[in-house]
Amino acid sequence: MTPRDKVFREFNKQYSTTPPWITSSPGRVNLMGEHTDYNDGFVLPMAINYSTWVALRARTDSKVVITALDLDESLEFNLKDFSKKDNSWREYIKGVARAMQEEGYQLSGWEGVFSGNVPIGAGLSSSASLELALARAFSLASDIPWDPAQMSLICQKAENQWVGVSSGIMDQMISACGKENNALLIDCRSLETKQVPLTSDTKIVILDTATRRGLVDSAYNERREQCELVARHFGVKALRDITLDQLEGERGKLDDLLFRRARHVVSGNLRVHQAVEALLAGDNEGLGALMNASHESMRDDFEISREEMDQMVAIAQGQPGCYGARMTGGGFGGCAVALVEDDRVETFQEAVLKLYQERTGLDPKVYVTRATDGTNYEVIS
Ligand code: GLA
């Protein structure tokens, strides 16, 4: 049963009626541009066919009552008076509510259930997918107009301020604004977006290394600070504002580690634009080569890969029909992404699973994905 059908059925069971609304929002995989978003740079993610669904109806009071079906846990709180308690899924709901209220929205209560199939903790943005599905639920229950970019910023704020991760805007923007068969070029400073059609003779394959590292306790925030230090050195707002030539020119004056961190980001922004050009030209080899170069940059300059990830990427790159592969997401574990010729996806999948298992003893997963629409809702009754 799909999570969509599950939320429909369970809502029925719990409330003895059909839900008036079902909202959904997808996870994402990023094709190019890692750790560039919080440097006001560019990214090229796509929304994937794995989502979080919420079935809900409005209440007449100011309470929110929600059951996490996959965990069999629930939460009830009053929108007029709530505070932070733990670091569980519950905080995403309260965080989104608080961020919407801080934006000046009057929220009304609602009740419902949610479920999802975005792998959790794998770097595929299960949290952004939950946040946006919830924001959509709040906006339906409270009759608030839906503006995808603004709601993305609100959900990012929930994650930054309530949950405590200094993440950028990429995950929320792609979850909100994705479009079927397209990747999305996002200018993370202006929030301007451009849909970029994917090539029809390839598949985007996600390779889960079965290694994990949570964002909160990872070196994510440390990387962010290092980037800010270099921006300050140049007297600019963000690394987005410097060129590779400028950076090279200052090499002697910068600590080598900081130089490499910045080189990853500045070259990463260029690779995003080159990847868009490759996609528009139908140049799979070109895009694949950029993915490989991006992995090297993450491994050697930004140092956010790990041994198992490098193994996975090398195995994928070595398979016939694979144009290129790279780590995707925040780093230190999680998933790689590969661009694979359509006809060879099955043999690719089998070979990667077998070789990775043999070399690492871990139990990887492979998801052959397609690009889907962003945040959505159905009116049921
Ligand atoms: C995480 C963050 C994003 C982005 C990526 C790295 O997914 O949530 O904002 O910084 O890492 O590109």
CA of 195 to the centre of ligand 1 (A): 20
Q: Which residue stretches of the chain have pLDDT < 50? A: 216
What HEC string does 224-280 produce? HHHHHHHHHHHCCCCHHHCCHHHHHHCHHHCCHHHHHHHHHHHHHHHHHHHHHHHHH
| Pairwise CA distance, residues 229 & 239, whole Å | 10
Tell me, what's the pLDDT at 163? 76
Tell me, what's the pLDDT at 216? 46
Asked, for residue 212, whether it belongs to a domain, the answer is yes
pTM of the model: 0.96
Count of structural domains within the chain: 2
> Do 128 and 179 lie in a common domain?
yes
Examine the fold and report which residue of 174, 194, 214 is the final residue of a domain before the chain moves on: 194
38: domain CATH number is 3.30.230.10
Asked, for residue 379, whether it belongs to a domain, the answer is no
> Do 221 and 310 lie in a common domain?
yes
Asked, for residue 130, whether it belongs to a domain, the answer is yes
Name the residue at shortest CA distance from atom 5 of ligand 1: 330
Tell me, what's the pLDDT at 86? 83
Determine the structural domain holding residue 37 and report its residue range. Answer: 3-194
Give which of 89, 103, 92, 193 is closest to 148, Cα–Cα.
193
Tell me, what's the pLDDT at 220? 87
Q: Give, for ligand 1, the residue of 31, 37, 48, 186 to mutate: max count of ligand atoms closer than 8 Å to Cβ.
A: 37
Q: Which atom of ligand 1 is nearest to the CA of 35?
A: 12
Tell me, what's the pLDDT at 215? 52
Tell me, what's the pLDDT at 115? 98
> Do 149 and 275 lie in a common domain?
no
296: domain CATH number is 3.30.70.890
| Pairwise CA distance, residues 246 & 93, whole Å | 43
Tell me, what's the pLDDT at 153? 98
Tell me, what's the pLDDT at 305? 95
> Do 161 and 216 lie in a common domain?
no
Residue 333 near ligand 1, beta carbon < 6 Å: no
Tell me, what's the pLDDT at 217? 57
37, 171, 208, 301: the active-site residue: 171
| Pairwise CA distance, residues 94 & 92, whole Å | 6
Tell me, what's the pLDDT at 381? 75
> Do 180 and 292 lie in a common domain?
no
Examine the fold and report which residue of 175, 194, 213 is the final residue of a domain before the chain moves on: 194
Asked, for residue 378, whether it belongs to a domain, the answer is no
Asked, for residue 308, whether it belongs to a domain, the answer is yes
> Do 224 and 281 lie in a common domain?
yes
